[in-house]
Structure 1
Amino acid sequence: MSNTLESFGSPPAPKVSSVRRVIAASLVGTSLEWYDFFIYGTAAALVFNKLFFPDFDPLVGTLLAFATFAVGFISRPLGGIIFGHYGDKLGRKNVLVVTLLLMGLATFAIGLLPTYGTIGAWAPALLVILRFLQGLGLGGEWGGAVLMTLESGDPKRRGLNASWPQVGVPVGLLLANGILSLMGGATSESAFLSWGWRIPFLLSGLLVIVGLVIRLTIAESPLFAETEKAGDKTKMPIVEVFRRYPKQVALAIGARVGVDVAFYTFVLFITTYVTTYLDLPKSYALNAVLIAAACQVVFIPLFGHLSDVHGRRPVYLFGAIAAAVWVFVFFKLLDTGNLALIILAAVVALFFHAAMYGPQAAFISEMFPTRVRYTGASMGYQLAGIVGGALAPIISTWLLDTYDSSLAVCAYVVGMLAITVICVLLAPETSKADLNDDPAELAEPTPPDVPTGKGRHAARHA
């Protein structure tokens, strides 16, 4: 079924260099956003419990620090709604500039924040506010970065192209853990707690300038420009998403939630488990995650490409089932206390995670039509973060404290991955979908008096 956009003619395909420029701009910007996000998460596991919640037991302080970490996930759906609305109405590019600025300035401000010992309860309160702003920025960032690559390149390479913004996650994680590890090694424990932890946050200001320069050089998404020319934009994207595409939103949430829980168990909870439960040096966890993240820079586009060849669902399901099995091996390897085996645990864990994360961006985005794709994809992706990544470190820490066993954490991860498997099985295969088609219309019976795509599209807008 074709869209009335055809009556205006299709724009010429972008040149390869243009597509590469779009991919580079999306990757750099997203990497910087995730750097900001992960700097906070790693600092929450290592120092925020001591600096902002010093009057509590170490484990309770860690729980409270992770609670402030969760605030970023709670504000991400709001960021997805706000920036998705403007991204579907005003275009992808301009919104991406705003989200990068918001995220960078909030992170820079955290680096200047006084601690509990200086201003008392105001310190954690201001920390929560800045974390909320971080979440708003990231909530709007993901959808725009993914759509710029998805809507700009060869339809046969959408999985690969859309996977590049996903690579921003391990790159951001690599930068965050690398700089924190460098600062930890270059300073004493007291100096790191005093001022060393601030340096990675303050560096965000410089990194944002680089990201803005690159991002301002790209053109708008061709598909959005086509939709704008056709006058097919909707006045209230969020209303249309919930009215016409609730099934797609629900499936997107379910498909993502297990991926999120597994990821934050593998890269964030590992720090708490290794340092607090196993009483090993924090460098063990930091270095393991660092190496695994470097490997994932290759893993993610690999699985994005494989989803173009074999379909989104088979690749996604392989990753989910394999990760559910590996989580048990993961903790067994951590329990050995052997650095090489801890590194192996993390690398394999992120390999299986990449099998889900590589095709995920295209899989979720392809569920929605162009006129509401920014809003719909952002909502499905970010709402999953509330019950996924936001709660995963908190629930895992509580389970470990309550049952004194990693098996409880494993059961939790497997349960959430089971939800992902079910939702991926229920979702349609999207790798061959036409981005000009409307998934809601494809699911409806064709009216006898409107036999083809152009007529149905016109009838819907009559």
Structure 2
Amino acid sequence: MSTTPTRAPLTSQGAGTGSRDPRKAAMSGWIGSALEYYDFALYSLAATLVFPTIFFPSENPTVGIIASLATYAVGYVSRPVGAVVLGAYGDRHGRKKVLVFAMLLMGFATFAVGLLPTYGQVGLLAPALLVLLRLIQGFAVAGELGGASAMIVEHSPDARRGFFASFSLQGTQVGSILATAVLLPLAAVLPAGQFGAWGWRIPFLLSAVVILAGYFIRRRVQEPPTYAANTGTPGGRRRFPLAELLRTRPGALVRCILMTFTNVIGMATLIFGVSYATQKGYGNGFSSSEFLWVTLVANIAAVVTIPLFGALSDRIGRRILMAAGGVVGGLLVTGYLWAIQLGSLPLVFVCVVIVQGIFFQMWNATFATFFQEQFPMRIRVTGFAVSQNIGLMIASFFPSIFTAIAPPGSANVPLTIGLTTLGICLVSAVATLISADTRGKSLEDLEGHKAG
């Protein structure tokens, strides 16, 4: 993506405040999202690969897996709180300020995870500290995508909002690739005992670099001119954005929460799927390093497809991509888990690219723009953050639920989990299709959409 600024004409709301610069906004959102989601993805990988044994030892493998995946979910429990607090901060005081704060807080929490003692060293204090830091992570990340995508959408020309906003989503995938790329050689080279003892800590400690890089990147981001102009007008800064959101856009809030459930595809493939493939209790026999490669390939495919689907949403609309991608992706989860059961690594690679790299990205590349378009500027960060993070909080428990309904030793695990995933995706698709399409409409027109 070229970094040469493209100056888009201002609307009347933004007159006199400067020019919009969608390329610079997209690049800054891309870099910031990549750094922050590097931190968040590290925990997701470690929760399936090493945490069950070093923080939650148990004679019953199912208990250890569920406990570890539950701490993964704990990070999502704090996200609605972070969404309310950081969303209000972003709406009242600026997108730039909330992005800098979220980055620094996330980097601190992730660095601290790398310093934690194990269960064998301090007993129950170890998982308690892990849960606390995961809560801080969840709080911090709640403001990231809402603030970044709001900034990009408000900088972008109306006809290309989907394309430019997709780069913040591409950045989240790059962050996951970086996390996997750091863990992959460690898991492959180090003996299992050394990887479990200290090797897994190295990527977390590298978050010290993230703290510094994030600060210098985010402090240079400029506010969208239309936002800067409106914050100086009467009513430009609402005291309680959440109250206005609940009063004026309850329908949009509920629909966006339900649409967020499409993330069940990622939960089924890259969270539960990793446990299903690598944990001894399921007996599928894949190694941790093999499934780090699977995760890496899925994220590389997503990096390629996200801007393509973002641009396509500007041409054909957001709803059709989101609904079709979610339903077909959910339908194909059964095939992906079946490939794991067969023990065929090449087939697993093919399936994960199709399910996670293509069909899920039809939804993932588009939802940030679509969600931002559902809410007026004065509550845009709050509306996006609250709906996305409540939805993700609920969805985060899906991997633990999957393990509970299809524990090690169960028959027909692929069909059980696949049908459950498809059912959830159908609910999300209905919520998408009953929402008004927003393609081609100006942000000023969208400001006047009927409340709710």
Shared fold, TM over 0.5: yes
Partner Cα distance (1:166, 1:58) in 2: 35
Counterparts of 1:230 and 1:112, CA distance in 2 = 47
Secondary structure of the 2:186 match is helix
Match of 2:289 among 280, 283, 293: 283
Partner residue of 2:221 out of 218, 222, 246: 218
Partner residue in 2 for 1:349: 355
SS of 1:357's equivalent in the other structure is helix
Q: Answer whether contact 1:83 1:95 (CA < 8 A) is retained.
A: yes
Could you say which residue in structure 1 is the equivalent of 2:323?
A: 317
Whether 1:430 and 2:438 are equivalent positions in the alignment is yes
Tell me how far 1:336 sits from its aligned partner.
2.3
Residue type at the aligned position of 1:426 = I
Q: Cα distance, 1:337 vs. partner? A: 1.2
Quick check: 35-44 or 328-337, which moved more? 328-337
Which residue of 2 is the match for residue 460 of structure 1?
none
Counterpart of 1:252? 256
Aligned residues: 434
CA spacing shift, 1:304–1:10, aligned 2, 3 Å: farther
Distance 1:159 1:438 in 2: 15
Residue 105 (structure 1) aligned with residue 112 (structure 2)? no
- Mapped partners of 2:341, 2:134: distance in 1: 32
29, 33, 37: which is aligned to 2:36? Answer: 33
**Residue in structure 1 matched with residue 89 of structure 2 by the alignment:** 86
Match of 2:183 in 1: 180
| 1:43-442 equivalences in 2 (<5 Å) | 43-231=46-234, 232-257=236-261, 259-276=262-279, 277=282, 278-350=284-356, 351-388=358-395, 390-401=396-407, 403-404=410-411, 405-437=413-445, 441-442=448-449
**In the TM superposition, what whole-angstrom CA distance separates every residue of 1:173-207 from its partner, at most 9, and x where no partner exists?**
11112211111122111110110000010011112
The aligned amino acid for 1:94 is K
Q: Does residue 1:22 correspond to 2:30, yes or no?
A: no
Q: Which stretch of structure 1 is more off in the superposition, 315-324 or 99-108?
A: 315-324
248-257 vs 263-272, greater mean Cα deviation: 263-272
Amino acid corresponding to residue 288 of structure 2 in structure 1:
K
Q: What letter matches 1:320 in structure 2?
A: G
Q: Once structures 1 and 2 are overlaid, which stretch shifts more, 38-47 or 104-113? A: 38-47
CA distance in structure 2 between the partners assigned to 1:431 and 1:12 by the alignment: 26
The question of whether the paired residues in 1 share the 8 Å contact of 2:14 and 2:225 is answered with no
Q: Secondary structure at the match of 2:221?
A: coil
Structure 1: unaligned runs, 5 residues or longer: 445-462
Contact 2:13 2:226 in 1 (8 A): no
CA distance in 2, matches of 1:297, 1:208: 24
The Cα shift of 1:7 comes to 6.8
Q: Give the whole-Å Cα distance in 2 for the aligned partners of 1:44 and 1:268.
A: 9
Asked whether the 8 Å contact 1:289–1:343 carries over to 2, the reply is no
1:264-286 deviation per Cα after TM superposition (whole angstroms, max 9, x unaligned): 21212221011122122222221
Decide whether the 8 Å contact of 2:335 with 2:414 is kept in 1. Answer: no
**Distance across 2 between alignment mates of 1:417 and 1:12:** 42
Q: Give 1:137's aligned amino acid.
A: A
Following superposition, the deviation at residue 122 of structure 1 comes to: 0.5
Native 8 Å contact 1:274 1:284 kept in 2: no
Is the 1:366–1:433 contact (alpha carbons within 8 Å) kept by the matching residues of 2? no
1:114: Cα distance to partner? 0.6
* Cα contact 1:13–1:153 (8 A) shared by 2: no
For residues 419 and 7 of structure 1, the distance between their equivalents in structure 2, rounded to whole angstroms, comes to 38
Identity %: 35
Amino acid at match of 2:420: Y
SS at match of 1:223: helix
Is the alpha carbon distance of 1:381 and 1:7 closer, same or farther for their aligned partners in structure 2, counting shifts above 3 Å? Answer: closer
Distance 1:431 1:438, change over 3 A: closer
Aligned amino acid, residue 409 of structure 1: I
Measured in 2, the distance between the counterparts of 1:89 and 1:208 equals 24
Distance in 1 separating the partners of 2:164 and 2:105: 25
- Letter of the 2:385 counterpart: S
Counterpart residue type for residue 428 of structure 1 = A
Partner letter of residue 247 of structure 1? G
Once the 2 structures are TM-superposed, how far is the Cα of residue 436 of structure 1 from its aligned partner? Answer: 2.5
CA RMSD in angstroms comes to 1.6
Q: Unmatched 5+ residue regions in structure 2? A: 1-10
Deviation of the 1:332 alpha carbon: 2.2
CA distance in 1: counterparts of 2:97 and 2:380, whole angstroms = 16
